[in-house]
Amino acid sequence: MRIQNTIPAKYHLLFWLSYFSFNVIRWGSYFDDFWYSFKSNLVEFPIHIIVIYINVYYLIPKFILNKKYKKYLLYLSLILVLVYLIRTGLNYLLVTKEIWPEAEDSGKFLELNHIIAVILGELYVIGFVSAIKLVIDWSIEKRKNEDLAILQTSTELKYLRTQIQPHFFFNTLNNLYALTLQKSDNAPRLVIKLSEMMQYVLYEVNTSKANLIEEISHINNFIDIEKLRFGDRIESVMSISGNIEEVKVPPLLILSFVENCFKHGLKENDRLEIKMDFKIIDKDYLEFTLSNNFNPDSNKKENEGFGIGIANAKRRLYLLFYNNFTLETNVKEDIYSLSLKIPVK
């Protein structure tokens, strides 16, 4: 943490005027002599202010923050010696001829008890005001770090989303290419659905959350695109339990899980069966489950890509929900299953 002038000058002035007034009233009441208290504080406070600013803006940054503690103590000791001499001299010349009127026997110049009293009083002021300044700087630095963390999180989320989006476009373009080779009448329909998905991904999803209803709509859109290519080889069943009107989810996250079904579950000349379930639990959580037949013969590169996709999803969920989510996957008897639970509030 750097020590800097983070407090506007008007607040410096307000603080010192308040502290001065408090001290005048405090010691004036204690000794029943407000005039003496006013004069002595008027002499001493400029010294306090100078010493405080030297300590806060020079000694602490130069020595304490650089771990040069011995030099800091040396310079502070020299300053305290000067404070004793200057303060005692000015009080003698401008306020009272008594060296230490607060004491019972008035005290003497360079008397040990008087030296200790003056130095302890100065250390009290230095410690009190420096602590206020350091706490203010710490709180400002903390807020800056929090803002930076939020910015970094937002940037990372955007980066993770950009990793997901190209998959949909490339896969869909491959589908379109296959249909054009077949001179299929479904090619125009696929182009329309692709344009709808591109509009959603590129223009409508600009935040960390999206409406679940829209996500489901585009999941169905994506499945329809695949069905245009593979026909009756694709079978999908979706069920929804509970009110999902106001539910928001990370955009494209669930869609990426569905895409993996086609990437890793569709065997050559075989069927792909997908089951999805969206369920609202106690109005607080969304539970999404997915299952599909899994192709254990997927090549190594595809499996690595699948792992990256899950890692990407977990990272996005962590950034959004910290540890308040669960994501579990399992493969059993050539059936892949996924379970996701996230908060909806």
Per-residue pLDDT tens over the stretch 82-108: 989 988 888 888 877 777 666 656 566
Of the candidates 233, 225, 229, the residue with the CA atom closest to the CA atom of residue 200: 225
Is residue 75 scored above 80 in pLDDT? yes
Count the helices and strands in the chain (H runs, E runs): 8, 7
| CATH of residue 310 | 3.30.565.10
Of the candidates 168, 227, 163, the residue with the CA atom closest to the CA atom of residue 199: 168
Q: Give domain status of residue 174, yes or no.
A: no
pLDDT in tens, 177-203: 777 777 777 778 778 877 777 777 766
Q: How many domains does the chain have?
A: 2
Q: Give domain status of residue 179, yes or no.
A: no
pLDDT in tens, 111-152: 788 788 888 988 999 998 888 888 888 888 788 777 766 666
Q: Give domain status of residue 190, yes or no.
A: yes
**Enclosing domain of residue 128:** 9-146
Same domain? 202 vs 330: yes
How far is residue 39's CA from residue 316's CA, in Å, rounded to a whole number? 65
Give this prediction's pTM.
0.54
Q: How far from each other are the two terminal CA atoms of the chain, in whole angstroms?
A: 36
Of the candidates 265, 278, 268, the residue with the CA atom closest to the CA atom of residue 331: 265
Q: Give domain status of residue 165, yes or no.
A: no
Q: Give domain status of residue 163, yes or no.
A: no
Q: Give domain status of residue 171, yes or no.
A: no
| Secondary structure class of 237 (helix, strand, coil) | strand
Mean pLDDT check: name the lowest of 67-76, 248-257, 305-314: 305-314
Chain length of the chain: 345
Q: Give domain status of residue 62, yes or no.
A: yes
